Structure 1
Amino acid sequence: MPERDGNFIDGAWTQAESGETFEVVNPARTDEVVSTFPLSDESDAARAVEAARAAADDWANTPGPARGKILREAGSLLEDRREDLVQLLTREEGKTHDEARPEVVRTVDIFYHYAEKAADYGGTVKAANSSRKTLHTRKEPLGVAALITPWNYPIAIPAWKLAPALAAGNTVVIKPATQAPTVAAEVVGALEEAGLPDGVVNLVTGPGSAVGEAFTTHPEVDAVSFTGSGVVGTEVYRGATAEGKRAQAEMGGKNPTVVMPSADLDEAVSIVGAGAFGVTGQACTACSRAIVHADVYDEFVAGIVDYAESLSVGAGDEGNDMGPQISEGELEGTLDYVDVAKTEGATLATGGERLEDGEHADGFFVEPTVFADVDNDSRLAQEEVFGPVLAVIRAEDFEEAVTAANDTRYGLSTSIVTDSHAEANEFVDRAEAGVVKVNEKTTGLELHVPFGGVKESSTNTFREQGDAGLDFFTTTKTVYRNY
């Protein structure tokens, strides 16, 4: 793959005006520098917005099928480079190959999906209330969209914001997370090679306090789409809406899986374990609470402990089951919550230690961790950890389990494992979450249906993905024609 280690502004790869840079390191081998990117500031962000604004009218007037052709070609280029991108994603973010590969495949599929949508997302024809009159709607782009994306899905999330924004006819400025910008730059590079006109997509790397804030408040930006932490997302949303922009923010979660006695217990353990420890627990949809019926509680705890202890932890390119955390700060945050849980009286069933010896000496590794006897009012059960830590909570019956599942300020993803149709249906009806699953892990999303949360997991304004992703980036014009 071509090396791309700069900002991409108005069709050119360039460095920050200050000349300053930062290094991206492999979280499994911190002595390995993966890439070096510009440490940009407000002036670089402003140049990117100006380029996007200058290109906006021409791109908006480009026919949808022509926009779709470019998206399709970009998807094809990414597909051709799949295995190289898998290697790069593992080195940059720490995912295992088995986790990185589906994310890359999903990225390709997102571009193919919105390539087709670009050709037919035009509006609707409605019946008028009198003769010699037609009535129809038109979907039109908002203008310049600012995208601020996180490090935990550093290629898929940029794709699921970029593709619908471009398909709908918007120009884009994007700030990827500083911990993992390299794969996002590869996506932008594929769009460049696919023939995207200059200025239509502009990528700027650097701190959110400088680049992200400049994008959020710039008067020429029409829409802001953010994924990340609740604290930052709330500030981004407030800043954008104060300026009259359309905004959405998808943020954290404290996602439960309810386990009922009718469930196959081995299946329940596998579902919870995959949701809790997959991608090292670094997913907004990760299962961090297992709410287990008292009749199977002890057996479940024994099973999930065996599951956690069976996982091999190490570099993602060496066939391990779980990779490192992304940074020293994230690792320390996880270990802090281990201490909090002990102080609160939870029982440490397994894990809880940093791995520092041998192959783990140069990375940010932690053991998969399970706490039993967790009080649902405790900090461990209420605050997002963003690491491989599972809290197991006892429930005496179905009613108590549903109440505990909903008893959180978050509402992103939730699931139940049961063989009872009545329990499954009632859980779906009563669950306070944007994503509800039955006999599935809390993680994992289909790209053609809406995604988003409620409560403090989301601003709950617009959903992402599917047609909902296009809706955020468009406005509707209603046309009356008398003849």
Structure 2
Amino acid sequence: MRYENYINGQWIEPSLGGYVDNLNPHNQKALDQFPASTPEDINLATAAAKEAFTTWSKLSYQQRGEYLLKAADFLSEKVEDIARDLTSEEGKTLPEAIGETNRAIRVLHYYSGEATQSVGDIIPSVNPKTMIYTKRVPIGPVGLITPWNFPIAIPAWKIAPALVYGNTVVIKPSEFTPKSAYHLIDALHQAGVPAGVVNCVFGVGGDIGAELVDSPDIKAISFTGSNKIGNVIKQRATILGKSVQLEMGGKNPLIVLNDANIDKAVAFSIQDGFMSTGQKCTAASRLIVEAGIYDEFCRRLLDQTNSLKVGNPLDEGTYMGPVVSARQYESVLTMIEQGKKEARLLAGGNEINTPDLKEGFYVQPTVFEVDSQSVEIARKEIFGPVVMLLKVNSFDEAVELANDTSYGLSAAIFTNNLTLSQRFVDEVEAGMVHVNSGTVGTEFQAPFGGMKSSSDGPREQGKTSIDFYTKMKTVYMD
């Protein structure tokens, strides 16, 4: 089936009439066709967003929130169908895709609720006849560039706050997972969102992303993706005086101390390292284990890793599906080969060429043991089903290793020692910290973001999203 761009309230063909196949990573078969858009399509979308902003921003918060509720209802009616499409184009298992679709629905509900929350403060004045108060105003049309690994949840948690706080939107979803974003945009369309308020342009990022960033009609850019592209966006947008919100990479540590519950620590290590085929910026890729339990932890980890079922993500019982694309497949395999040269391979480490999977982008769940974090696989984000084990002799050494990275997104520790867990919270250089749970778990009502090169700009999700999608006015009323 052929799909179109969504611009100014209508589904329209790309300006040059080009389309590309949307491929299934399980077998490389074409699923649908989506536009191969050009800068002209971006220009049409940004003009529509600019035109719609004046009217949309004058609606009440509650009126804008009602559209989110209606869109959530439309998504709720076809969760299973959306999830199957998500699995077919991205490769995560069907239960994970169902969970992600439901998360998108809950995000819409959450931000519709934010429409009834306070958006300002009253501040005492030295003059008894003066009232000082603050209010929030939207920033204008915003550009959203979203990745393939959470292809409906991330667009939802960017679009929902943007809209409820009075902005209009142009979104450029990943070219690898356009159908998932289509479902969200279609739900907003079915909900009756006014023309021009939401616009979606499909296509390759390099072709149209720069046009979106450079457009004078776009006042801010929210991007989730690689550090390489994020840093380019930051440079371009900052020169143009635009606000940026960047969520990028991670090389997240999971520390296991001698007194930890080993079963729990191993379970979270498996889950955080290999679910979604390791394609999460919050994935636990560095397992830092204290020497007293290292051998036992390693034995249990390898036993469970070797028992994981890799296969068609639509099949019941599959734990891990394929990586998303040929490009990602080659990248992961290249890093694994590099790891074989500089570390000890303990499990996996190969592509999978069984008759039923040979056409897909399948990689074994892989475990390396490293003696030093100077090796490339311990420093570079792989974004695939690859974890590495490091042995340490103390809590202090573990934290030192955890912080020895350019990233600072998420970190976890497993211990029953309250003093050390609190020290970890204080000392680890990460934007999100977990005690006795894995690095992956995040909730949409809480701020999401990291430190160092993992994030830039205001946090996403929760109440803090208002900081990016609005400006503050201070009013003196006599």
After TM superposition, the score normalised by the length of structure 2 is: 0.98
Cα deviation, 1:422-455, whole Å, max 9, x if unaligned, reads 1111111101011110111111211011111111
Aligned-partner SS, 1:139? strand
Q: Which amino acid aligns with 1:456?
A: S
2:476 is matched with which residue: 473, 476, 480? 480
Pairing of 1:53-92 with structure 2 (within 5 A): 53-92=50-89
Among 105, 116, 121, which residue is 1:119 paired with?
A: 116
Q: Tell me the CA shift for residue 107 of structure 1.
A: 0.3
1:388 matched to 2:346? The reply is no
Matched, 1:12 2:10: yes
Given that 1:225 and 1:249 are in contact with CA atoms closer than 8 Å, whether structure 2 keeps it comes out as yes
| Correspondences of 1:318-357 after superposition (within 5 Å) | 318-319=315-316, 320-344=318-342, 346-357=343-354
Give the letter for the 1:42 counterpart: P
* 2:215 is the alignment partner of 1:218: yes
**CA–CA separation in structure 2 for the residues paired with 1:292 and 1:4:** 50
CA distance in 2 between counterparts of 1:416 and 1:132 reads 54
Q: Specify the alignment match of 2:297 in structure 1.
A: 300
- Helix, strand or coil for the counterpart of 2:412? strand
Match of 2:134 in 1: 137
Query: Contact conserved, 2:2 with 2:33, CA < 8 A, in 1?
Result: no
Deviations 1:275-305 (A, max 9, x none): 1001000000001100011111111111111
Query: Judging changes above 3 Å, is the alpha-carbon distance between structure 1 residues 342 and 463 closer, same or farther for their aligned structure 2 residues?
Result: same
Structure 1 letter corresponding to 2:263: D
CA distance in structure 1 between the aligned counterparts of 2:47 and 2:333, rounded to whole angstroms: 44
1:453 is the counterpart of 2:450? yes
SS at match of 2:474: strand
| 1:30-109 map, 5 Å | 30-31=28-29, 33-109=30-106
Read off the aligned partner of 2:377 and give its amino acid letter: L
- The amino acid that maps onto 1:30 is Q
Cα RMSD of the aligned pairs, angstroms, is: 1.1
Deviation at 1:471, TM superposition (A): 1.6
Within a 5 Å distance, the mapping from 1:143-162 to structure 2 comes to 143-162=140-159
* CA drift at 1:177: 0.4
Aligned counterparts of 2:161 and 2:187: Cα–Cα separation in 1:
16
- Displacement of 1:120: 2.8
Q: What CA distance in whole angstroms lies between the structure 2 residues aligned with 1:440 and 1:48?
A: 42
State yes or no: 1:468 paired with 2:464: yes
Q: Structure 2: which amino acid aligns with 1:219?
A: P
Deviation at 1:4, TM superposition (A): 7.5
- Structure 1 residues 121 and 67: alpha-carbon distance in aligned structure 2, compared to 1, 3 A threshold: farther
1:306-317 equivalences in 2 (<5 Å): 306-317=303-314
Q: How does 1:176-325 map to 2 (within 5 A)?
A: 176-319=173-316, 320-325=318-323
Query: In structure 1, how many angstroms separate the alpha carbons of the residues matched to 2:27 and 2:206?
Result: 28
Counterpart CA distance in 2 for 1:195 and 1:469 is: 24
1:435 aligns with 2:432: yes
Distance in 1 (CA, whole Å) between partners of 2:440 and 2:200 is 28
Which 4+ residue blocks in structure 1 deviate beyond 3 angstroms? none
- TM-superposed deviation, 1:456: 0.9
1:358 is displaced (CA, Å) by 1.6
- Return the alpha-carbon distance in structure 2 between the equivalents of residues 69 and 155 of structure 1: 20
Provide the secondary structure at the position in 2 that maps to 1:316: coil
1:400 alignment counterpart: 397
Q: Is the 1:348–1:372 contact (alpha carbons within 8 Å) kept by the matching residues of 2?
A: yes
- Work out whether 1:22 is the aligned partner of 2:20: yes
8 Å contact from structure 1 (residues 4, 189) kept in 2 = no
Gaps of 5+ in 2: none
Letter aligned with residue 225 of structure 2: G
Q: Which amino acid aligns with 1:369?
A: T
What's the CA shift string for 1:214-257, capped at 9, x where partnerless? 11011111010000000000001111111001111110000010
Take 1:109 and 1:142, find their aligned partners in 2: how far apart are those partners? 25
Paired with 1:122 and 1:415, the residues of 2 have a C-alpha distance of: 33
Q: Which amino acid aligns with 1:14?
A: I
User: 1:127 Cα deviation (Å)?
Assistant: 2.2
Alpha-carbon distance in structure 2 between the residues aligned to 1:200 and 1:457: 30
- Of 97-106 and 190-199, the range deviating more from structure 2: 97-106
CA contact (8 A) 1:52 1:173 kept: yes
Whole-angstrom CA distance in 2 between matches of 1:413 and 1:433: 5
Q: Secondary structure at the match of 1:189?
A: helix
Could you report, residue by residue, the CA deviation over 1:392-414 in whole angstroms, capped at 9, with x for unpaired residues? 01111111111000000000011
Distance 2:183 2:341 in 1: 45
Q: What secondary structure does 1:365 align onto?
A: coil
Shift of 1:121: 4.5
Moved more, 16-25 or 124-133: 124-133
1:163-174 alignment runs, 5 A limit: 163-174=160-171
TM-score (norm 1): 0.97
CA distance in 2, matches of 1:427, 1:204: 43
Offset of residue 175 of structure 1: 0.1
Counterpart of 2:97 in 1: which secondary structure? helix
| Deviation (angstroms), 1:269 | 0.6
User: Residue 116 of structure 2 aligns to a residue in which SS?
Assistant: helix
8 Å CA contact 1:4, 1:186 repeated in 2: no
In the alignment, the residues of structure 2 paired with residue 284 and residue 418 of structure 1 have an alpha-carbon distance, to the nearest angstrom, of 24
**Ranges in structure 1 where 5+ consecutive residues have no aligned partner:** none
Distance (Å, rounded) in 1 between the aligned partners of 2:218 and 2:326: 34
SS at match of 2:66: helix
Distance 1:408 1:362 in 2: 36
Q: How many residues get paired?
A: 477
